[in-house]
Amino acid sequence: MKALDVVKMPLHALALMGKTKSFVGNPLIGSRWLNERGLHRQRVAFADRSAWARRARLGRALSAEERDAYARDGFVIRRDFLPAELFARVRDEAPAHVAAAREMRQGRAVTRRVALDRVDAARLPACVAAANDARLDRLMRYVGAHDAVPLMYLQTIIVDPARGAQDPQTVLHRDTFHAIAKAWLFLQDVGEDDGPFAYVSGSHRLTDAMRAWEYEQSLTAASSDNPYHARGSFRMPPEDLGRLGLGPAMKVVVPANTLVVADTHGFHARTPSLRQTVRMEIYGTLRGNPYGLGCGLDPLAWPGIRSRRANLVDQAEDLAGRFGLLGKNWPLVSPRRMDSASVD
């Protein structure tokens, strides 16, 4: 253990009560000795139990069919989600929107995003209306087991197989050890070859086999060669799924105007693109304290913050990056159409 880690030990210990997941960034989370005695196993089990307790209340706002779909699969799919008239306006507005967006490159994939806060409604009225749909909000709260407002964006994923290294999102993985909701409202049809989202049905459930797998990973994750695995986003070799009683990942091949809300602590991936693809979606993310220790407080929903929350989070991350407190936020690029395949 490094000397600095000893000084920071109270902070490392406090982090166990929150979302921190890295087996290399936190010496307690990465400790084989503690994990042999059940530290990771207990974090996973406690997060799962408390998420289901919160869902018992959040589920009242959903249909039985939606609750059953989540319980069985770990995701909910709603076709023809937006009224046709609103969806037609979103389809006109989104691709043609010109913005100095944020872009992040991961190997051959570039993700481009602009925020869809209420304050953005002057530029993107239809997209902001869609992103603030109350049904979407309720589904995300349930799947993420967190009674809070999600962060919403207009997002384009541009993949060019000729451009570089593997996109890490195409490797089957879970984002973390506790429930998280991610939402995609697809603006075009997503076919087999369009780099669809893929999910292993039922892999969000904490079965005995899954508990044993999590325990096993926790003993060695800190020394994994895969940096994402070591940082707590466990990678899952597809050939090991059978051992957990799980089938293969299912590609979510869907028509335009389909909403998918998934708990990405189940195994999922982006299907690799064999040709250049441009996928556009209204995208949302919601992750809260795994154990419900936020005391019901949701500062992002407070007056003056709610209507600009995704923009404020970006500004806060820019600032934190500048002071070296976090990694660098996604850079702003020169203005371009949201559907442009050209990237920096």
- Identify whether the C-beta of residue 177 lies closer than 8 Å to the C-beta of residue 167: no
**Residue 294 C-beta: closest distance to ligand AKG, Å:** 22
Scanning 145-153, 208-216, 242-250, 262-270 for contacts with ligand AKG by CB under 6 A, the matching segment is 262-270
Scanning 77-85, 117-125, 263-271, 296-304 for contacts with ligand AKG by CB under 6 A, the matching segment is 263-271
For residue 146, what are its two tokens?
A: 């967190």
Q: Of 26, 31, 50, 169, which lies in the binding site for ligand AKG, with binding defined by CB under 6 A?
A: 169
Strand partners, 102: 113, 332
Confirm or reject binding of residue 50 to ligand AKG (CB under 6 A).
Answer: no
For residue 21, what are its two tokens?
A: 């997941």
Q: Of 204, 265, 270, 287, which lies in the binding site for ligand AKG, with binding defined by CB under 6 A?
A: 270
Q: Of 48, 175, 194, 214, which lies in the binding site for ligand AKG, with binding defined by CB under 6 A?
A: 175
What's the chain's length in residues?
A: 344
For residue 162, what are its two tokens?
A: 């000729």
**Residue 221 C-beta: closest distance to ligand AKG, Å:** 18
Confirm or reject binding of residue 269 to ligand AKG (CB under 6 A).
Answer: yes
202: left (phi over 0), alpha (psi -120 to 50) or beta: left
Scanning 84-92, 209-217, 261-269, 299-307 for contacts with ligand AKG by CB under 6 A, the matching segment is 261-269
Confirm or reject binding of residue 197 to ligand AKG (CB under 6 A).
Answer: yes
Scanning 97-105, 116-124, 268-276, 298-306 for contacts with ligand AKG by CB under 6 A, the matching segment is 268-276
- Identify whether the C-beta of residue 238 lies closer than 8 Å to the C-beta of residue 172: yes
**Residue 267 C-beta: closest distance to ligand AKG, Å:** 10
CA distances from 174 to 15, 58, 60, 197 (A): 20, 23, 27, 13
Confirm or reject binding of residue 54 to ligand AKG (CB under 6 A).
Answer: no
Distance CA 153, CA 150 (A): 10
For residue 165, what are its two tokens?
A: 């290294």
CA 83 to chain centroid, in Å, comes to: 26
Binding site for ligand AKG (CB under 6 A): 157, 169, 175, 182, 197, 264, 268-270
